[in-house]
Amino acid sequence: MVSTLAVNQLCWTEERALDNTKQKTVLIIGGAAGIGKEIALDFVQAGHKVAIADINEAAMSQVVSEHKLEDKLFTFQVDVSSWESVQRMAEKVKEALGNIQILVYSAGITKRIEFSELDWSLWKKTIAINLHGLFYSIKAISPYMIEQKMGSIIIIGSGSAITGSGGGVQYSSSKGGAFGLMRSLVTELGRNNITINVIAPRVIESQMLDVLYPTEQSRESLKKEIPIGRFGKPSDISSLVEYLSTDEAKYIHGQILVLDGGRTYKGKMKQG
């Protein structure tokens, strides 16, 4: 499967940059909407050099134009299910921005479906984007991080890999694979001063939530299961991503951080 890769050729101006000791180059894969978009905007606001990569070129262009980021945000069209496409993306990002210090993998698809109705096509597509794409991205970007002996890799996973619920067996399986991939890389990346962690959100206000809980009744019922009484926001995730990418968080490595308002492990009070 071959895709075209378009590069938004922009110039990064020094007057917008942070101090060189603090400014980092950030790549968010799946950054055109939802959680990935929020992460990208936060890093831009903080003054870093930011690139987003996504298959949806129109959505990326909309992010740039809506937020007036023509000279602050680089965009790359990529098909994460294709190793060749991911390779080209990595080369173009390095060419445009230099070595990447922070990689955020936020690409993913989901569909609520019974196992008995799940066919090979949907299984294959979900694994290709949610797991193969993650593998390809780390495989393509990590050599640059190893070369410079520094980096942070943050994977946007899902609490579904813990509970097995939400999004169908193909989704929870793909996200469980991301857990295993992360754990297997802890030693090899760690000795090169590269941290890798997974953020596992549950019930975040996003397009995925709309897909899985399309009615107001289903959403209100779900909200009652969350101890803090609200859905998560993309900003809840982006703030944690930003922290994990800092030097202050360098001892956080090989972890799965569940963001769910207490829902997964809530205790049950006895009545009477």
Task: Encode pLDDT of 46-67 as tens digits.
Answer: 999 999 999 999 999 999 999 9
**Annotated active-site positions, please?**
171
* Residues 8-36, mean pLDDT to the nearest whole number: 70
Instruction: Give yes or no for residue 229 having a pLDDT over 60.
Output: yes
* Residues 161-177, mean pLDDT to the nearest whole number: 90
Backbone angles phi, psi at 271, to 5 degrees: -90, 140
Q: Flag the least confident range among 13-22, 35-44, 242-251.
A: 13-22
pLDDT band of 215, cuts 50, 70, 90: confident
Cα four-point dihedral sign 41, 47, 48, 51:
positive
pLDDT band of 252, cuts 50, 70, 90: very high
- DSSP secondary structure of 160-201: HHHH--SS-HHHHHHHHHHHHHHHHHHHHHHTTTEEEEEEEE
- How much of the chain, in percent, has pLDDT values that exceed 70? 89
Instruction: Give yes or no for residue 94 having a pLDDT over 70.
Output: yes
Q: Where are the beta strands (DSSP E) in the chain?
A: 25-29, 49-54, 73-77, 102-105, 151-156, 194-201, 256-259
pLDDT band of 68, cuts 50, 70, 90: very high
* Cβ atoms < 10 Å from Cβ of 111: 15
**CA nearest neighbour of 85 among 132, 38, 147, 33:** 132
pLDDT for the residue numbered 268:
57
pLDDT for the residue numbered 217:
84
**Exposure of 59 by Cβ count < 10 A (0-12 exposed, 13-18 middle, 19+ buried)?**
middle
pLDDT tens by residue, 112-144: 899 999 999 999 999 999 999 999 999 999 999
CATH class of the domain whose range is 14-258: alpha beta
* Residues 228-254, mean pLDDT to the nearest whole number: 93
* Residues 14-36, mean pLDDT to the nearest whole number: 77
* Residues 193-205, mean pLDDT to the nearest whole number: 92
pLDDT band of 15, cuts 50, 70, 90: very low
* Residues 101-121, mean pLDDT to the nearest whole number: 94
Query: Distance (Å, rounded) from C-alpha 109 to C-alpha 126?
Result: 6
More confident residue, 232 or 254: 254
Mean of the per-residue pLDDT values for the chain?
88
Instruction: Give yes or no for residue 17 having a pLDDT over 60.
Output: no
* Residues 23-33, mean pLDDT to the nearest whole number: 95
Instruction: Give yes or no for residue 256 having a pLDDT over 50.
Output: yes
pLDDT for the residue numbered 267:
63
DSSP one-letter code for 271: P
pLDDT for the residue numbered 18:
53
